[in-house]
Structure 1
Amino acid sequence: MAAALSGAALHVLAQTADRVEQDTRRPPEPVRRDSVRISQPTFAENAPAGAATVTFTLGDVQISGNRTLGTDDLKPLWAGRVGQTMTLAEAFGIAAAISARYREAGYILSQAIVPAQDISTTGPATLRIQVLEGYVDRVSFSGFQSPGLAEHLAPVTAERPLRLATLERALLLVNELAGINAQANLKAGAAPGSSELVIVATQAARAFSVLLHNRSTPAQGRVRLEASAELRGVTGDFDRHALRLVSSGDKRLNLLAYNGEAPLGTQGLKMLWSASVSRSEPDSPLPNIDTESTNIQAGLSYPVLRSRRSNLAVRGALNGYNNQTAEGDISRDRIRALRIGLTADHADDLDGISLLDLEASVGIDGLGASPADDPRLNGARPDFKRLTLYAARLQSLGGDWSMLLALTAQHANDRMPAAEQLGLGGEVFLRGFDPSEAIGERGYAGKVELRFNARLGSFSTTWYAFGDAGRVRRLQVGAPAVSTSLASFGGGLRFNGPSGIKGYLEVAKPQKKDVASEGNRDARVFVGLGADF
């Protein structure tokens, strides 16, 4: 049936209820590094007054307390000075070099000191240096307090000496707990080498968002409402529950989705679950085009690596959804799929952040899935195999300028249900076109966006210019595959203001093909206005 339809009809089919979640899904983002600021203690390593005038011949260095870095590893720091005359100030310099070596190895609280001693000035002298391998012996809290926070920070007090990597991971994971914002300060403890970690934490128990925009089609309503409500700490300290509504304001498009998460243990493992129902009744002359969809998913995610420099998280989920025409039972997909993926990001010395997201999805038999020979699948395979990729780089250009480069791609060998296909058009890629203007089993798209941040009174603004292009290939039943190429360019403004006000204004010019719902390639204006509170 699909091979005989016009481009406009295919576009209406692409706007079925099962595409709504795909079209409104945000792309992966890097872990927030600005959520963690560590105020490191400073150590008094300065030589005493007059040290530069006291000289002696270095015969040997006796070092103690260095359980982590062996003496053989540290010896090159002073071996070249043995047998030479040096000042007492230079002796303190050896201790400072040992402290620096510890911190280069990640032990930010460790230091070497020159204890009080008698140093012979008449012959080769032995210099004694003591290493204090630093640790945190106490964690105190200000603001929001919970036994769960202390449990998440237990690795910090357990590790001796403390590594920066352990402290960063613990603080980043704490800041990923539902609604938590925590800052850390370190101050000297009572015992030699000890420090106290002071956590200033807050928890936002709820969050709401609403956005009204016109990034839609006449068939599904020119104006679209997106609203969400999120509650944290409902059944425990750090669980999260969110409701999301996407609606045309009438029967043409409605989606209600719920998703939740809860930590399992204190090392970042999370249980994730979601469910949604949606119904689409496009204003179209095509018969039997009304569709409805239900979707449920449960999975786990785990942060393999968490630091301010690099991050890696893996995830797995079991997903099941049912999509069908509302009347006539002409089309029906009952899909059960296993999905595994990873997200990695890295902040480099070029003042940029790179991100990579990979996901593999496999359709599985059983659990109520449609049989492969079900004619209502319209040729789609329920046991599909799909690989998707998203890559991006946000590069600072100096001052208030930056550039975003992003790429998405998908590969599959067999015809798949519409919900599994790559869709081009909408807010993320091919912004000059409607959501899922073109879909296909295989495809790719890329974009570049030049940004300039400016403060206008009480509003923070981002001015931008963009260009994007992509191509999808859609397999047909009993007909050759159809390839569609799209491109667009434009510019706009995003803003945030007092009381959580947010919005955007964008002008986009489609290229390479007409917009199906408009029948032309005229420039389009998209406007959104809402608030976070």
Structure 2
Amino acid sequence: MALAQTAPPDAGSLLNQQQRQERLQPPADDAAALLQAPLPDAPDGGFSARIDRVRFSGAEGAIDTQALQAVVADALGKSLTHAQLQALAQRVSAALQAQGYLLARAYLPRQDLSNGELEIAIMIGRLQNAPGRVQVLSDDAALRARATGIADAALPEGPVRNDQLERALLLINDVPGVSARATLEKGAEPGSSRLLIRADSAPAWIGGASVDNFANRYTGAWRSSAWGAVNRPFEHEDLLGVNLSHSSGSDLLGLNYAIGLTPSGLRANVAASSMHYAVGAEFKPLDLRGSARTVSAGLSYPLLRTRKRSLWISMDAERRELVDKALGQVLRERNLDRLTTMLSGNAWDGWWGGGYFGASLGWVAGRVDLDNAADRIADGLSARTRGSYNKLVWRVERNQSLGGLSNWGLYVGANGQFASKNLDSSEKFLLGGPSGVRGHAVGEGSGDNGWLVNAELRRDFLVARHVRAQALLFADHGHVRQHIDPWAGSVMPWSGNAYDLSSAGIGLNLQGERWSLRGAWAHRLGDNPGRSAAGLNADGLRDDHYLWLQASLRF
């Protein structure tokens, strides 16, 4: 291929671009705060007692009494009235609830205060042991049984912590097509409670469609997509989904199925996809076409599941079969077998007005097999991708409210990968496109190692009833190392093996009840070291700015 010409995409790079292509709202903060409200003023006259020390009883070994001593420290050495003593007990109750003991209560037993010691008794709180400790209300008998099993697994006997209640409720809400809410009521035993959960079934199926220009120019930049899912098709914690995508030069069909295996949250998933492509534009006379087929299976488990923090571990095995042809002849046939182990999590906090933090860290171990003899020879003289490989993938993001600036927010996200050797095109890191450095083309900046940072200043506002808008001012920057081990002719003299790409721009998103529109215009900052000798970008054009558009509809 002449250096003046941009290299055409192949099955691996197109699959990679497809796989790389919602802003979350923080949960309501209704957890009890660690109250340090001042004690009420003492009225003139009446009962009072000097308190020099406080002793806690009733929950020895179950709670951190040192933390509770700090809660009552300001009352020591003072004469307190009956009302002030009751307020002190209420403060301890609030502190216990802030520690996670949602059902806990502190009270003052009958006692003699003449020696200056105050006893505060603690009822730590538990669900009743009698039948009916958890009652699920639902018209669906199968759902009622599944939800009861999930709640029983998350709520052990003994004192109940807030995080255990949250895990039970969230795992029930994780069941496809289920919406659950809970209330507590007095139990049948002294000091106990019972949990009532209302589990409602959502629509049996959901779906959506979209149109965008996020695809590769050589297979048709404009792409139409549709997806659908059936909730609990076999009356288990399962989901059956399908997705389709079409452009002028590519078609993709994907199927997936996920099911809950245990009440504690272990889930299994299987998926398959098939993509066919034909390269157009200036490469059309070469009749470049091919396919990418994938099959995968995996497991996932929530190590932590609360309103404010969640942590998952997952493991997925995948088989990729990639074929590229020219003028009816097979150019490349390769199979990739890969195993991905991933740890991912998120957290909400109240820092400077509140924000969301998400992160993931994964390890990919794989092997490339080349079926075509000529391809094996060519690979041995060039990239040498054949054989085993490993790569580390990572992602971090922060969505931050800007303190007192109402409706303003700042988003910063970064992701990248580190590889052990030269990678197949389906495993390379990509910089350009609508989810990367937006002032560069889809497929621009491909490499074995790389990292990318996106920063957005966001302003939310209403434009009409039920229509929200978000304006963006953004900047992107990324770095890529094209080859771990370069070979003769693999690196252009004007680019070097490693280079950076940058861009900045503006965007506007509109969202209604069932539809959304997204638009972003980005301009390249600086040069494009990855251009061809003729100055062409990865899409065969010389553009220094790009406009990305998407319209979506949910059914």
TM-score interval w.r.t. the shorter chain?
A: 0.7 to 0.9
Q: Displacement of 1:471 after TM fit?
A: 2.6
Q: Displacement of 1:244 after TM fit?
A: 0.9
**1:166-225 deviation per Cα after TM superposition (whole angstroms, max 9, x unaligned):** 112222222222122323333444543223333333333211010011223442123201
SS of alignment partner, residue 166 of structure 2: helix
Q: Which of 370, 384, 392 is matched with 1:379 structurally?
A: 384
Q: What is aligned with 2:135?
A: 140
Q: What is aligned with 1:336?
A: 337
Conserved? CA contact 1:298–1:318, under 8 Å: yes
Conserved? CA contact 2:335–2:368, under 8 Å: no
* 2-structure distance, mates of 1:323, 1:312: 34
SS of alignment partner, residue 301 of structure 1: strand
* 1-structure distance, mates of 2:191, 2:135: 18
* 1-structure distance, mates of 2:469, 2:342: 34
Q: What is aligned with 1:359?
A: 362
Q: What TM-score results when the alignment is normalised by the length of structure 2? A: 0.82
Q: Displacement of 1:157 after TM fit?
A: 4.4
CA RMSD of aligned residues (A): 3.5
In the superposition, relative to structure 1, how do residues 197 and 37 fare at CA in structure 2: closer, same or farther (>3 Å)?
A: farther
In the superposition, relative to structure 1, how do residues 40 and 388 fare at CA in structure 2: closer, same or farther (>3 Å)?
A: closer
Task: Write the letter of the residue equivalent to 2:274.
Answer: V
Q: Displacement of 1:38 after TM fit?
A: 6.2
SS of alignment partner, residue 494 of structure 1: strand
Q: Which of 464, 472, 475 is matched with 1:467 structurally?
A: 475
Query: Structure 2 stretches of 5 or more lacking a match?
Result: 34-38, 492-496, 529-535
Counterpart check, 1:96 vs 2:106: no
Conserved? CA contact 1:318–1:339, under 8 Å: yes
Q: Displacement of 1:158 after TM fit?
A: 2.6
SS of alignment partner, residue 151 of structure 1: helix
**1:253-280 deviation per Cα after TM superposition (whole angstroms, max 9, x unaligned):** 1111112211120122111221111111
* 1-structure distance, mates of 2:234, 2:24: 26
Q: What is aligned with 1:528?
A: 550
In the superposition, relative to structure 1, how do residues 22 and 179 fare at CA in structure 2: closer, same or farther (>3 Å)?
A: farther
In the superposition, relative to structure 1, how do residues 124 and 532 fare at CA in structure 2: closer, same or farther (>3 Å)?
A: same
Q: Which of 417, 429, 435 is matched with 1:428 structurally?
A: 435
SS of alignment partner, residue 215 of structure 2: coil
Counterpart check, 1:506 vs 2:520: yes
* Identity over aligned pairs, percent: 24
Q: Displacement of 1:50 after TM fit?
A: 9.0
SS of alignment partner, residue 85 of structure 2: helix
193-202 or 407-416: bigger deviation: 193-202
In the superposition, relative to structure 1, how do residues 219 and 75 fare at CA in structure 2: closer, same or farther (>3 Å)?
A: closer
Task: Write the letter of the residue equivalent to 2:293.
Answer: T
Q: How do 1:482-501 residues align onto structure 2 when only pairs under 5 Å count?
A: 482-498=497-513, 500-501=514-515
Conserved? CA contact 1:303–1:312, under 8 Å: yes
In the superposition, relative to structure 1, how do residues 304 and 8 fare at CA in structure 2: closer, same or farther (>3 Å)?
A: farther
Task: Write the letter of the residue equivalent to 2:151.
Answer: L
Conserved? CA contact 2:169–2:180, under 8 Å: yes
In the superposition, relative to structure 1, how do residues 370 and 40 fare at CA in structure 2: closer, same or farther (>3 Å)?
A: farther
Q: Displacement of 1:230 after TM fit?
A: 0.9
Q: Displacement of 1:357 after TM fit?
A: 1.4
* 2-structure distance, mates of 1:74, 1:488: 53
Q: What TM-score results when the alignment is normalised by the length of structure 1? A: 0.85
Conserved? CA contact 1:215–1:434, under 8 Å: no
In the superposition, relative to structure 1, how do residues 80 and 436 fare at CA in structure 2: closer, same or farther (>3 Å)?
A: closer
SS of alignment partner, residue 384 of structure 1: strand
Q: How do 1:201-350 residues align onto structure 2 when only pairs under 5 Å count?
A: 201-204=199-202, 205-248=204-247, 250=248, 252-283=249-280, 284-285=283-284, 287=286, 289-326=288-325, 327-350=328-351
* 1-structure distance, mates of 2:74, 2:473: 58
Query: Structure 1 stretches of 5 or more lacking a match?
Result: none
Task: Write the letter of the residue equivalent to 2:472.
Answer: Y
Task: Write the letter of the residue equivalent to 1:352.
Answer: G
In the superposition, relative to structure 1, how do residues 31 and 143 fare at CA in structure 2: closer, same or farther (>3 Å)?
A: farther
* 2-structure distance, mates of 1:294, 1:109: 53
Q: What is aligned with 1:405?
A: 412
Q: Which of 388, 394, 410 is matched with 2:393 structurally?
A: 388
Q: Displacement of 1:86 after TM fit?
A: 4.0
Q: What is aligned with 2:13?
A: 19
Task: Write the letter of the residue equivalent to 1:293.
Answer: A
* 1-structure distance, mates of 2:20, 2:471: 20
409-418 or 216-225: bigger deviation: 216-225
Q: What is aligned with 1:177?
A: 175
SS of alignment partner, residue 415 of structure 2: strand
Q: Displacement of 1:110 after TM fit?
A: 0.6
* 2-structure distance, mates of 1:516, 1:76: 63
Q: How many residues align?
A: 513
In the superposition, relative to structure 1, how do residues 359 and 258 fare at CA in structure 2: closer, same or farther (>3 Å)?
A: same
**1:50-109 deviation per Cα after TM superposition (whole angstroms, max 9, x unaligned):** 998223566997765324238788678779989975432333244334424422432121
Task: Write the letter of the residue equivalent to 1:295.
Answer: T
Task: Write the letter of the residue equivalent to 1:385.
Answer: N
SS of alignment partner, residue 160 of structure 2: coil
**1:276-312 deviation per Cα after TM superposition (whole angstroms, max 9, x unaligned):** 1111101124636312111111111112122233322
* 2-structure distance, mates of 1:75, 1:487: 55
* 2-structure distance, mates of 1:236, 1:38: 33
**1:341-399 deviation per Cα after TM superposition (whole angstroms, max 9, x unaligned):** 21122333422222221111112489x99999933656323311111121111111142
In the superposition, relative to structure 1, how do residues 127 and 480 fare at CA in structure 2: closer, same or farther (>3 Å)?
A: closer
